[in-house]
Amino acid sequence: MNYIVGIDIGGTNLVLGTVSEDGSVLYGLRKEPTRAEEGPDAVVARLVGLSRQAIEDTRAADPETKVIGVGIGSPGPLDRVTGRVLITPNLGWTDFPLRDAIREALALPTALDNDANCAVLGEWWRGAARDTQHAVGITVGTGIGGGIIIDGKLYHGFSEVAGELGHTTIDANGRLCKCGNYGCLEAYAAGPAIARRAVEALRAEVDSSLPDYVSGKLEALSAQIVYQAARDGDQLALEVVRETSRLLGIGIANLVNIFNPEVVVVCGGVTMAGASLFDPLRQEVRRRAFRPAAEACRIVPGELIGTAGVYGAVRAFLDQLDDGLISGMDDA
């Protein structure tokens, strides 16, 4: 069987594995800290080593293994055509030829796409958005990214930078976002914003167990801890999660009115909040979006926890191969 190495480069972790070209099996899954501060060359060297191990695992499991390429999902902005990562605030890399560095080291045709695009593409291929033609996904983590599937393909826009769904204004006079705009969805509902709203709420309200989770060090509060406390029944944490639902609901209602998608997949750590997030979120979308669009659309958590980006990177390779965007090794 033909396999493709899928690499998901996150701000925190590198995740990779090999996926069969029909998407049915994933072998050799590996995960380790990114340690971006070591610089891109060191990270690439580790990725190459991990990829070789994953390929060996795959050969051990399936003697007929043929590895035909590599797909990489990376924070961006990046240029799919030249394969360069332009700027990555979370990694600190600038204008780095990531695709060709991996391609030359592994001697395999290689494709690059944006990490959020890959996560959404993975969910579309093998996860919560499978069997749809029109899907939208948002990834809620350190930032809020997005991916748009139209007619069963990732939409990249005119100059390859479409899908910045976290950087849409939901409050014209709102909080400054790190992108320079005011009132972006990301400034309210990404992980750090969730933690910050919890800290703000704690200033007004003392009856909460949240400080106990971080031994009173509020600067250590994270969105994950807020979700945990909400699951444990802390009322203040539940209120922060409900407000997160409302804010994400505004952003998602906008996407529902714009795209009339069959499904909106919400990926990332925020899905840990479970029904306490998704129930009010769906309610907010129904309250705000046009009824025919809202009724047509499922809003669901991602299913491929931890591996959506790997599956998506592999699918991005296959799609770029189909589109003639991948040069063979002889042209390299």
The residue among 11 and 174 lying less far from a copy of itself, judged by its C-beta, is 174
Return the residue of 168, 208, 244, 307 that touches a copy of itself, per CB under 8 A: 168
Return the residue of 85, 119, 165, 236 that touches a copy of itself, per CB under 8 A: 165
Taking contact as CB under 8 A, which single stretch among the options 42-50, 153-161, 234-242, 319-327 is the one that binds a copy of itself?
153-161
Which residue type occupies 2?
N
State both tokens at 184: 């972006």
**Whole-angstrom distance, CA of residue 92 vs CA of residue 99:** 17
Three-state DSSP class for residue 164:
coil
Q: Is 247 in the site for a copy of itself (CB under 8 A)?
A: yes
**Whole-angstrom distance, CA of residue 219 vs CA of residue 49:** 36
Label the pairing between strands 26-33 and 13-20.
antiparallel
Which residue type occupies 38?
E
Contact 167, 161 (CB under 8 A): no
Phi, psi of 19 (to 5 degrees): -125, 135
The residue among 5 and 250 lying less far from a copy of itself, judged by its C-beta, is 250
Taking contact as CB under 8 A, which single stretch among the options 106-114, 206-214, 248-256, 265-273 is the one that binds a copy of itself?
248-256
Return the residue of 297, 300, 304, 308 that touches a copy of itself, per CB under 8 A: 297
Q: Is 303 in the site for a copy of itself (CB under 8 A)?
A: no
Quick one: DSSP state of residue 269?
A: G
Residues 72 to 111 in contact with a copy of itself, rule: CB under 8 A: 77
**Min. distance of Cβ 85 from a copy of itself in angstroms?**
14
**Quick count: other Cβ atoms within 10 Å of Cβ 134?**
18
State both tokens at 247: 């804010």
Return the residue of 32, 157, 220, 279 that touches a copy of itself, per CB under 8 A: 157
Return the residue of 133, 209, 235, 283 that touches a copy of itself, per CB under 8 A: 133
Residues 252 to 271 in contact with a copy of itself, rule: CB under 8 A: 253-254, 257-262
Q: Is 173 in the site for a copy of itself (CB under 8 A)?
A: yes
**Quick count: other Cβ atoms within 10 Å of Cβ 260?**
16
Return the residue of 52, 175, 196, 288 that touches a copy of itself, per CB under 8 A: 288
Return the residue of 50, 70, 129, 148 that touches a copy of itself, per CB under 8 A: 148
For residue 263, which of 295, 286, 219, 231 has the smallest C-alpha distance?
295
The residue among 134 and 242 lying less far from a copy of itself, judged by its C-beta, is 134
Q: Is 134 in the site for a copy of itself (CB under 8 A)?
A: yes
- Distances in Å between the Cα of 149 and the Cα atoms of 115, 125, 131, 278 are 14, 10, 12, 22
**Quick count: other Cβ atoms within 10 Å of Cβ 139?**
29
Q: Is 30 in the site for a copy of itself (CB under 8 A)?
A: no
Which residues are CB-neighbours of 204 under 8 A, at least 6 positions away? none
Location of structure tokens 């003697």: 63
Return the residue of 25, 29, 105, 161 that touches a copy of itself, per CB under 8 A: 161
The residue among 103 and 282 lying less far from a copy of itself, judged by its C-beta, is 282
Largest separation between any pair of C-alpha atoms in the chain: 66
For a copy of itself (CB under 8 A), the number of binding residues is: 48
Instruction: Summarize as ranges the residues that interact with a copy of itself (CB under 8 A).
Output: 77, 132-134, 146, 148, 150, 155-165, 167-174, 179-182, 247, 250, 253-254, 257-262, 287-290, 292-293, 296-297
